[in-house]
Amino acid sequence: MTSIQHNLQQVRQRIAAAAARCGRAPEEITLLAVSKTKPASAVEEAAAAGQIPFGENYVQEGVEKVQALAAHPHLEWHFIGPLQSNKSRLVAENFAWCHTVDRQRIAQRLNDQRPLTLPPLNVLIQVNISDENSKSGIMLEALSELAQQIAELPQLRLRGLMAIPAPESDYDRQLAVCQQMADAFQQLKQHYADVDTLSLGMSDDMEAAIAAGSTMVRIGTAIFGARDYASKPQQ
């Protein structure tokens, strides 16, 4: 067993334990392996251990991996980083999901640039739940309007919400923030039939996110090891 395979096993056990503690089935929670700054060979190792969805933060790096691993069409590619307008076409043409839609203009560009030969692009609305100036995302009060705009675009499929809460070491405070997102997610589900995904929780707050109702956790370092940002330009 490779280290990546071992790490994946450990993370899956952690997800299962967190789910059991709050009376949920582990199958309700998707593990998104965040492979940013890691080579395509590392993705292949994870894929050999049964991992299917992978998350990329940088457009060009992600597209290179999508193309390098085209022989593995069952892999599911999620774009989870900030998206600039001039990179939207690459996301629309190469990814199955975009987690970081936070304005109508980006949604419209993704819709217009999504090839008609592909299924609609699955999108999540990013919410700036901790109101951090350094983070992308909309405020909760703007969610209803943006959701309606996205739902009207035929080449997009609104699937839910994503958030990156501010770092917080106290579990109860983590849970309170995650619960805000879960409440917004449940409200959105009442209005849109396709909404089924709450992308919430990383290595340090995964347990709280799962307890609140997250359906997708984004885990990178615990699977692939420490990232080498110096060798990868941020794209």
Residue 144 maps to which CATH number?
3.20.20.10
Whether 143 is covered by a domain: the verdict is: yes
Q: pLDDT value at position 235?
A: 56
User: Could you say which DSSP state residue 215 is in?
Assistant: S
Per the CB < 8 A criterion, the answer to whether 51 and 8 are in contact is yes
Alpha-helical regions (H) of 87-201: 88-94, 104-113, 143-151, 171-189
Question: Looking up tokens 């699977």, which residue turns up?
Answer: 223
From the CB of residue 43, how many other CB atoms can be counted at a distance below 10 Å?
24
Whether 132 is covered by a domain: the verdict is: yes
Question: Looking up tokens 């949604």, which residue turns up?
Answer: 107
CA distance 154 to 148: 12
Whether 234 is covered by a domain: the verdict is: no
Per the CB < 8 A criterion, the answer to whether 11 and 228 are in contact is no
pTM over 0.85: yes
Sequential pLDDT tens for the chain (235 residues) = 789 999 999 999 999 999 999 999 999 999 999 999 999 999 999 999 999 999 999 999 999 999 999 999 999 999 999 999 999 999 999 999 999 999 999 999 999 999 999 999 999 999 999 887 778 899 999 999 999 999 999 999 999 999 999 999 999 999 999 999 999 999 999 999 999 999 999 999 999 999 999 999 999 999 999 877 665 545 5
- Please name the helix (run of DSSP H) or strand (run of DSSP E) that holds residue 124, with its range, or none: strand 121-127
Whether 233 is covered by a domain: the verdict is: no
Q: pLDDT value at position 226?
A: 86
Whether 211 is covered by a domain: the verdict is: yes
Phi then psi for 156, rounded to 5 degrees? Answer: -120, 150
Whether 235 is covered by a domain: the verdict is: no
Whether 124 is covered by a domain: the verdict is: yes
Q: pLDDT value at position 122?
A: 98
Whether 48 is covered by a domain: the verdict is: yes
Domain count, the chain: 1
Its domain, for residue 49, covers: 3-227
Cα–Cα separations (whole angstroms), residue 124 to 12, 42, 45: 23, 26, 27
